[in-house]
């Protein structure tokens, strides 16, 4: 990911900050119920540690997203409640990093975009959403030279998901299902970032550029585009030349600005080549 895309992200977030703040008045809620399904087992027969999962339903009240409606927690509480060291590779517990862990409790809806709000003059913060995240227009999490994790202990529903970093990408982990109506993009230089979805993923295109990795633990209902090493799982992976529309690769280089803009504006219909036919195997 180029620094020009980071600058574009900052401009978008400044515009978002000027919009009327949502979620100023939080509705009365009760503690959402947590599902505790029987744990999956490893090949050795031992239970596999899983993150808490939630369901989306009328029984669980939701709140309108508010960037300031978080509680700071320390690494000890984060580990006890969410077993972060099992699911997140970034060394969040390093006290020298001085990175905040912001906990958003309950289920949240977003009337618009949800974007990282790092000022890049100090270490970025981490986010845990202890519930579902729904009705998001575009979920964008962009880092610079320091990583950040974004953990959702439930399902995510969004129009598009765009993730990127310059020299250190974000770690986005979803314990439930992911629905991204227009597509998912991961774009990061070395050492890379990653997206892990423990449930099912439904999206027309999952596109990886450079060192990003996508790990769809159960299934991917859509087209994966990138290098085979960028995807964990047995689903087919299409090459850039076969799947992307002409013009997005110029002289062997990605037109990243166009790819980010096209996914934000038009999704898979703007990215996929009209003559591309997904493999059936």
Q: What is the pLDDT of residue 274?
A: 75
Q: Which residues in 211-223 are b (16+ Cβ under 10 Å) and which e?
A: bbbbebbeebebb
- Listed by start position, the domains of the chain span 3-15+56-236
Task: Assign 174 a pLDDT band (cuts: 50, 70, 90).
Answer: very high
What whole-number distance in Å separates Cα of residue 194 and Cα of residue 155? 17
CA atoms within 13 A on the CB side of 113: 20
pLDDT of residue 59: 38
199/192 Cα distance (integer angstroms) = 22
**Among 8-22, 127-141, 177-191, which is the least confidently predicted range?**
8-22
pLDDT for 35 beyond 90: no
- pLDDT interval class at 38 (50, 70, 90): very low
Q: Is the pLDDT of residue 258 over 50?
A: yes
Return the higher-pLDDT residue of 235 and 56: 235
Mind listing the pLDDT tens digit for each residue in 259-281?
999 998 878 888 988 777 665 54
Give the predicted TM-score (pTM) of the model. 0.78
CA distance 190 to 211: 6
Give ∠ CA 95-126-97 in degrees, rounded to 5.
25
On the question of pLDDT at 191 being above 90, the answer is: no
Interval 75-107: pLDDT, tens:
899 999 999 888 888 777 766 667 899 999 999
Nearest to 142 by CA among 118, 111, 173, 112: 118
């Amino acid at each position: 990911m180029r620094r020009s895309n980071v600058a574009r992200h900052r401009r978008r977030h400044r515009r978002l900050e000027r919009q009327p703040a949502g979620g100023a008045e939080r509705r009365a809620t009760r503690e959402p119920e947590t599902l505790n399904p029987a744990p999956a087992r490893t090949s050795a027969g031992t239970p596999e540690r899983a993150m808490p999962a939630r369901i989306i339903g009328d029984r669980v009240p939701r709140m309108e997203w508010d960037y300031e409606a978080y509680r700071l927690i320390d690494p000890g509480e984060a580990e006890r409640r969410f077993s972060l060291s099992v699911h997140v590779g970034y060394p969040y517990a390093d006290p020298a990093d001085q990175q905040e862990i912001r906990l958003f409790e309950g289920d949240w809806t977003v009337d618009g975009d949800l974007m990282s709000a790092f000022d890049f003059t100090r270490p970025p913060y981490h986010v845990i959403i202890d519930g579902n995240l729904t009705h998001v227009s575009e979920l964008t999490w962009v880092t610079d030279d320091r990583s950040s994790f974004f953990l959702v202990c439930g399902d995510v529903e969004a129009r598009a998901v765009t993730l990127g970093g310059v020299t250190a990408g974000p770690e986005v982990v979803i314990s439930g299902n992911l629905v991204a109506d227009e597509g998912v993009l991961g774009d990061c230089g070395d050492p890379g970032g990653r997206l892990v979805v423990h449930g099912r993923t439904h999206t027309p295109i999952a596109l990886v550029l450079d060192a990003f990795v996508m790990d769809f633990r159960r299934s991917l209902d859509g087209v994966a585009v990138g290098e085979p090493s960028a995807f964990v799982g047995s689903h087919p992976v299409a090459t850039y030349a076969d799947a992307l529309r002409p013009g997005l690769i110029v002289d062997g280089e990605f037109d990243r600005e166009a790819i980010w803009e096209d996914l934000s504006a038009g999704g898979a219909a703007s990215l996929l080549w009209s003559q591309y036919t997904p493999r059936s195997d």
